[in-house]
Amino acid sequence: MRLLLALPLILLAACAPPAKSPPGPVPARKVVGYFTDWGVYGRDFQVKDLDTGGAATKLTHLLYAFGKVDGGRCAAADAWADYQKPISAGRSVNGVADRPDAPLRGNFGQLRELKAEHPGLKVLWSFGGWTGSAGFTEAARDPAAFAASCRALVDDPRWSGVFDGIDLDWEYPNACGQQCDSSGPAALPRLLGALRSAFGPRAVLSAAVPADVGKLARADYRAAAATADWLSAMTYDYFGTGGDGGGDPSDQHRTEPHSPLTTYPGIPRSDATASASIDKLLALGVPAGKVLLGIGFYGRGWTGVTADGPGGSASGPADGRYEKGLEDYEVLAKRCPPTGVAGDTAIARCGTQWWSYDTPSTIKTKMAYARDKALGGAFAWELSGDTPDSALLTAIATGLAQPS
């Protein structure tokens, strides 16, 4: 009798679907920030500030900008700031002044000290940028020689071990930035492939990619992502003020938020949003986990305005400390605090000026979006614009760490 009762239970167990394995751990999202070599001059933003301000504890990767591409080869752009300038004790990460005859000084010496304090932090040398991308066209003609030059530079005995990989900021492959390129859709994947061969599988390789959906269609970013550890989508500067040529020139005499996540009433171009850029990258076949959302740590602003919301007329770019139409978040948060939101980014009217920028609150919204889209993380351009206590970077790190 007991055997008969047990039989149905045995049959049920045999027919039941196999138990599902528990889901594997979700890869930690990347928190990436750019540190610029020129920031140590007028801005007085030193490597030490990454330590004292708490940024180094939030970052997974630090990108040092920029090296240059000269004659199709990797080269240092500012030898004085990079590795020659003696750092005083008060500006040194470890509190010890550089000897004038020390073999390594400057930012590279400080990066070595920063990594000693934060051994989990990875540092990449970024090459190119808006004004430094012309050399990539020549590099694309001989990717192997380009990669060999980058490997030799990174392995220079004076700073060997400081850098964990390479970032390419080509603006833009097979499209126009400050200059135009016609190297073909496969140029960027070929450069990254050559770098991977030269540096090996353990090196970290990344590339900044445009936010403009038209430019995204011009290069094979799916193939680029297959080699790179991630692609950094520059999801800011959709609309410019005329101060630096950013954005569409036709929009430069009307106020628009420069980094909207979503559309808003009256937006001049519906695809000029971070969500449209991300959707385009995913539609091209780039895995979501290899896409980083870009956050600008600055605002774009106009003067001669009379309207509170976006779309108002303006006489031109507002004054900034270093550049017309541009100001750091640290300054704007005090001088022209937010008066509204458009496209999930902050807007601010103060007198005859109008600014747009991201705040810890809007970054929280953007990080929720990044989690919902299963993106690989986010990056900041660039860290000197943050507050001394790293309010924006903290918002990125905490926002990405929240459960999806």
Active site residues: 171
Instruction: Please state the three-class secondary structure of the chain as a single string.
Output: CHHHHHHHHHHHHHHCCCCCCCCCCCCCCEEEEEEEHHHHCCCCCCHHHHHHCCHHHHCCEEEEEEEEEECCEEECCCHHHHHHCCCCHHHCCCCCCCCCCCCCCHHHHHHHHHHHHCCCCEEEEEEECCCCCCHHHHHCCCHHHHHHHHHHHHCCCCCCCCCCEEEEECCCCCCECCCECCCCCCHHHHHHHHHHHHHCCCCEEEEEECCCHHHHCCCCHHHHHHHCCEEEECCCCCCCCCCCCCCCHHHCCECCCCCCCCCCCCCCCCCCCHHHHHHHHHHCCCCHHHEEEEEECEEEEEECCCCCCCCCECCEECCCCCECCEEEHHHHHHHCCCCEEECCEEEEEECCEEEEECCHHHHHHHHHHHHHCCCCEEEEECHHHCCCCCHHHHHHHHHHHCCC
The number of C-alpha atoms within 13 Å of 236 and in the hemisphere containing its C-beta is: 25
Q: How far is it, in rounded angstroms, from Cα 210 to Cα 45?
A: 27
Q: How far is it, in rounded angstroms, from Cα 41 to Cα 27?
A: 37
Q: How far is it, in rounded angstroms, from Cα 394 to Cα 273?
A: 23
